[in-house]
Structure 1
């Protein structure tokens, strides 16, 4: 990696980019768009060597995409950092505006320039899949609101006297169903366009409990399993990794940190519940731990971690998941039959 000599902090908003050159202690504002980004690059280039500069900015969703894509296309170093990470690293700060934020981001990046890893944007297919999944989640939440409302209507209102309310809500639910199906069809098309993603999807969904939605979330948030070294880091990112809580002589059981990708955590919880119901191995494991008096939630979390570890294992191995319990049953059955024949 290129040696970083200077950092430029950029506070990204809908209409503007507030940039701060850490070495020159200069601040300047640009329009958030390609013309403004080009002016930003030119301003930094005029101050010195551009190849040894790290641009740092918060990941602000749609607003930061043009800047990230342009820097990536130009081969320039940049890092998109979660806003909470920057905020907590600065300690107590009084006052806030775009200029101050750009200064703090530049300072944050410069102090950590030796350890910061530049951001690598995912492929076009991964980006599209991630956006489609995000939109699908929004549609599902909105559909759930209408389903909840119509359930209350059925409990307290007479359908004949409130025909318009019932019909309108049912029509909205059908419309959401249609749009969600359309999004899922597009997701399948995007997946099939990339052979690597398609093959990875088959491996991931071979693990019991991992279905269409969770499988695509695994691919999207791991950038097709290229941005996490091992499953434990992904478990930490998903909020299912327990951490010690100890201070002096005071100790408490390991707890899960609330900072996590809540969507992934929810999907893994659903997968764990499904596995306990339909996967004989997980069902037996769950029942065995509960009989031992173990906590139900801790057992569910262990199952979530088992699912993650198995997904990463099959991807690393390059072969589908093997149901070892089923294999053991078959082996036991054939062994018993053979002993009966010999006797």
Structure 2
């Protein structure tokens, strides 16, 4: 899609630095609703064009960019939130950095790569809420793991009787975190139950062994209920489990390996799902044992299982039928 006006915006906690490429104009606005309205009026005056012919481009900065993205979507204005790393790598060798320069570079990126840019569509409210709850649960789980390890280490080397107050505090914190995690999981389940589409998707993908509540809900959240990725291979690449060749000419012949650019949280969850599936799914268990006896490295086999799980997940969603374990019906 071609636009007449390309606008780059550098978003910070309090301000928006806006640069219009076609007229080489820059101005700073507040990062709130009043600032958004002022920004829109200023852009229209400077460009003398309608909003439909403009493309607003900015980095995905989480909570700081979300209000502005919601404002643009509510007003049906085209925009695209781009990965900061993608913009950085497109610039080549650069020197210096400030908010004005950053907004100019984002506008240049939008104009140069307009044919590669995908317009952003924010997820539905239920999925956005699901993402927030899952994100908080993930942080609490990390904290719980940290406190549990510290408590066990202290118990081993210090002893409970020497400092009972220490272990009392540890126990209270661990109990509180477990309680909060359970409350979040209950809220997550309620969101799934109250939405017919999400509930159907959840039932389909949890029919696959290894895919439980948290893995299933993260799959739904990151794929925007399986509308964000056209096939399972693209999602495997996004999750960092798709292997890529490493070779050049006749001298460089490296092994195929996964790339470090990935959603590390999803990769971790898929790893846990693969481990679970290897222990509970007869077919995958036999596959794992056979490949291991052939000399295949353990992590390489687990990565193959991760890809098999992702392929199964996308397949059951596409055909709208639960997963069937054919081994049960084998003669």
Does residue 27 in structure 1 map to residue 26 in structure 2? yes
Q: In structure 2, how many angstroms separate the alpha carbons of the residues matched to 1:327 and 1:172?
A: 49
In the alignment, what sits opposite 2:36? 37
Q: Cα offset for 1:54?
A: 0.5
Deviations 1:237-261 (Å, cap 9, x if unpaired)? 0000000111111211111000000
In the alignment, what sits opposite 1:229? 230
Deviations 1:45-84 (Å, cap 9, x if unpaired)? 1122221110000000100011000000000000000100
In the alignment, what sits opposite 2:136? 135
Contact 1:4 1:114 in 2 (8 A): no
Does residue 269 in structure 1 map to residue 266 in structure 2? no
The answer for unaligned runs of 5 or more in structure 1 is: 333-343
Q: Cα offset for 1:189?
A: 1.0
In the alignment, what sits opposite 1:120? 121
Does residue 48 in structure 1 map to residue 24 in structure 2? no
Deviations 1:271-305 (Å, cap 9, x if unpaired)? 11111112111110000001111121111110000
Q: Cα offset for 1:230?
A: 0.2
- How many correspondences in the alignment? 328
Q: In structure 1, how many angstroms separate the alpha carbons of the residues matched to 2:94 and 2:226?
A: 37
SS in structure 1 of the partner of residue 6 of structure 2: strand
- The aligned runs of 1:93-108 (5 Å cut-off) are 93-108=94-109
Q: In structure 2, how many angstroms separate the alpha carbons of the residues matched to 1:233 and 1:327?
A: 32
Which contiguous aligned blocks of 4+ residues in structure 1 show a shift greater than 2 angstroms? none
Q: Cα offset for 1:18?
A: 0.3
- The aligned runs of 1:157-306 (5 Å cut-off) are 157-249=158-250, 250-306=252-308
In the alignment, what sits opposite 2:309? 307
Q: In structure 1, how many angstroms separate the alpha carbons of the residues matched to 2:182 and 2:259?
A: 35
Greater C-alpha Rg: 1
Q: Cα offset for 1:92?
A: 1.2
The answer for unaligned runs of 5 or more in structure 2 is: none
In the alignment, what sits opposite 1:80? 81
SS in structure 1 of the partner of residue 65 of structure 2: helix
Q: In structure 1, how many angstroms separate the alpha carbons of the residues matched to 2:291 and 2:136?
A: 38
In the alignment, what sits opposite 1:326? 328
SS in structure 2 of the partner of residue 51 of structure 1: helix
Deviations 1:202-231 (Å, cap 9, x if unpaired)? 001111100000000000000000010000
Q: In structure 2, how many angstroms separate the alpha carbons of the residues matched to 1:246 and 1:279?
A: 35
Contact 1:58 1:83 in 2 (8 A): yes
Q: Cα offset for 1:119?
A: 0.3
Q: In structure 1, how many angstroms separate the alpha carbons of the residues matched to 2:53 and 2:234?
A: 29
TM-score, normalising length: structure 2 = 0.98
| CA RMSD of superposed structures (Å) | 0.8
